[in-house]
Amino acid sequence: MTVVHQILFIAVSFLLGSIPFSLVSAYLIKRVDIRNFHDGNPGALNALRTAGFAAGTLGVILDFSKGIFVVYYSRYHWTIESPVTWIAALCAIAGHMYSIYLRGRGGKGMAVTYGVLAGLSHGFAAMLMGGVSFLLKSINLSPPMIVLPAILAVNAVYWFLRPEWLSRIGLALIALLLFAKYAKELFARERAS
């Protein structure tokens, strides 16, 4: 594939990641703008809370799908260890978090991150992150205290399973994106306690 194709694919990955599927699904199903309710987040959890199960589920499925699509398309044309695959994956997550269609506001990126991880590892990394998240949720921790240790667990396991440096760097950058998105909430809770 040509360099132009690679650049176009990376740009399309960001644009696809930027589509606020949860916001759209809530509007189509309940005719409601979920940004006006609860925490104002245009993501799947707020769609679930505001517009119900159908809107939240559709939002999660579509957000997950855009993450896995980007990775599988890239893996088909390049390899898992191609910089294009990792850059496109990061762009899909960043696009969701900082959507150009919503003037830089976006969701927290969990569903698209799970989709990216599922595509990169044929499901293993997503299941690992989900398992750690489930365990941490069972002890009633806040979302940042669930998400951040979960992605760090994925990084730790993959440090040993995947000796390729690009995988290690890519997973570390995914963790940094999640930390950047959850940092404000994490530090606000820290100051409150």
CA distances from 151 to 7, 20, 51, 145 (A): 28, 23, 28, 11
**Which residues, including other chains, have CB under 8 Å from residue 34's CB and lie 6 or more apart?**
22, 23, 26, 41, 42, 46, 47, 50, 51
- In tens, the pLDDT along 97-142 reads 999 999 988 888 999 999 999 998 878 888 989 889 889 888 888 7
Q: Determine the pLDDT at residue 1.
A: 63
- In tens, the pLDDT along 21-67 reads 999 999 999 999 999 988 888 888 889 899 999 999 999 999 999 99
**Summary count for the chain: helices (H), strands (E):** 9, 0
Could you tell me which of 59, 67, 49 has the C-alpha nearest to residue 28? 59
